[in-house]
Amino acid sequence: MAKHSCYTPLLGALAVCAALSPLPASAVLDNLVREALTLADAGKGRQAYDMLEPHEAARAGDPEFDTVFGIAANLAGEHPRAILALERVLLVQPRNARARAEMGRAMFAVGDAKSARTFLDQAKSEGAPPEVSSNIDQLLRAIERVEAEGQSSVRGHVEVMLGTDSNVATGPASNTVAVPLLGGNFVLNPANVKQSATYLGLTAGVNGRYVIDSRLSVIGGANLGWRNHPSKTNFDNTQLGFSGGLSYRANKDEYTAVLTHDDYWVSGSVVREQNGLVAEWSNRSSETSQFGAYLQYSKLHYPGQKPRDVNRTVLGGSYAQQLTADLVGYAGLYGGEERAASSGVPENGHKLYGLRVGGQITVNPQWTGFVGMTYEHRRYGGPHPTFGVVRSDDQSSLSLGANWSGFKDWRVTPQISYTRIKSNIVLNDYDRTLVSVTARRDF
């Protein structure tokens, strides 16, 4: 297997190894080793490693020291040093389950998935407690996914969602709008005012990869989504998307370029067509962090409403970091513009910039919680023809939820999200809350 395959973006899957199993009950730890283990268990692997490294030459061969030094070296990304220390442990304590599990982790990190699987299987067979076996199973599944990345594959999923939307029309709360340029107040169509509705959603998708060689692959996919509002059927919508392109991997870096096409229907009529190109770069600088950048270009066409057509360009970057053994955080910045495709309608285009931050915490092998926050500012290109001012929007959102993976290939996600758009154009000033539960099956 090529070495680059070990740098998987599944930071959470690797994080479980920080507490794969306790040290043997018979171990007697001195103050130095005990303090280092406390730091390691708190996710402060680099501090633990720096504490122990000066003592390695004098303490090498002490299995308690070498075990904790191996744990710290893994957390610090010093995997070759971890392998050397753990080999010393296993020479004198061949049934040390923690050392075998940590050796599996180190082997996975340096690209030897076959040896990693062997060590992890042995750790399980040596009587690891149930909670430890669950964590080892997570890493074994991560190894399976990494191995699959080196092979041509096709994967699919189906989702069922039930939820409620506090503002299915994405409209203002008031049905009366003041328009000074027209000399008075106007009553909005009830269909364009804030109204709530429950909904049922179905989504299905398939993604494939055809491996040309160990670095270059052809990738593609298709997704279909449908949402029904039993009491507000005029808001029923369907989305259909296709994508296809190339992926190139080189050591810790992956580059992808994908062409996309998406159609969006409301009440059976196409209201938007989108064609675009997405180029991405990601770098797995270590098993605990990942950088990324992307460029998106798309042409949005609104059938029968040509003045609304725009060309959208967005450039952004992201960073993800394992903060502790159970906690992963991420942040991203982006900016760009939507430029009106037709002349004479600058108010239909805008410049934008935004920020995304969030995190995920692993509570136990079945439950993870997540939170995400976004902010985006949009400044439009010309005065609104009705309101006479240049539109300016500030959009903020917050999402909270959890994932439950109690059954193989299934995931259940309860979630709540709130969006607030503050705009100087009253028609575009609104808030919206969605509460949903989604069940997903992967194939």
255-276: pLDDT as tens digits? 999 999 999 999 889 999 999 9
Instruction: Provide the pLDDT for residue 359.
Output: 95
Our measurement of the distance from residue 281's CA atom to the centroid of its chain's CA atoms, rounded to an integer in Å, reads 15
Percent of the chain with pLDDT strictly greater than 90: 60
Helix (H) or strand (E) run with residue 259 in it:
strand 253-266
pLDDT tens track for 240-259: 999 999 999 887 788 999 99
The burial of 277, by beta-carbon neighbours within 10 Å (0-12 exposed, 13-18 middle, 19 or more buried), is given as middle
pLDDT tens track for 100-127: 888 888 888 777 777 888 888 887 777 6
- Whole-number average pLDDT of the chain: 87
* Cβ–Cβ under 8 Å, residues 361 and 372: no
Instruction: Provide the pLDDT for residue 12.
Output: 43
Instruction: Provide the pLDDT for residue 288.
Output: 74
Instruction: Provide the pLDDT for residue 346.
Output: 95
Our measurement of the distance from residue 344's CA atom to the centroid of its chain's CA atoms, rounded to an integer in Å, reads 40
pTM of structure: 0.72
Instruction: Provide the pLDDT for residue 147.
Output: 61
CA-closest candidate to residue 97, choices 74, 131, 117, 122: 122
Split at pLDDT 50, 70, 90, the class of 132 is low
Percent of the chain with pLDDT strictly greater than 70: 87
Split at pLDDT 50, 70, 90, the class of 146 is low
pLDDT tens track for 214-237: 789 999 999 999 999 999 999 999
Residue whose pair of structure tokens reads 């059938």 in the numeric block: 303
Is the confidence at residue 406, as pLDDT, over 50?
A: yes
* Cβ–Cβ under 8 Å, residues 70 and 59: no
pLDDT tens track for 289-310: 889 999 999 999 999 999 999 9
* Cα 65 to Cα 49: distance, rounded to the nearest angstrom: 11
Instruction: Provide the pLDDT for residue 130.
Output: 57
Is the confidence at residue 379, as pLDDT, over 90?
A: yes
Question: Which range in 14-28, 44-58, 338-352 is most confidently predicted, on average pLDDT?
Answer: 338-352
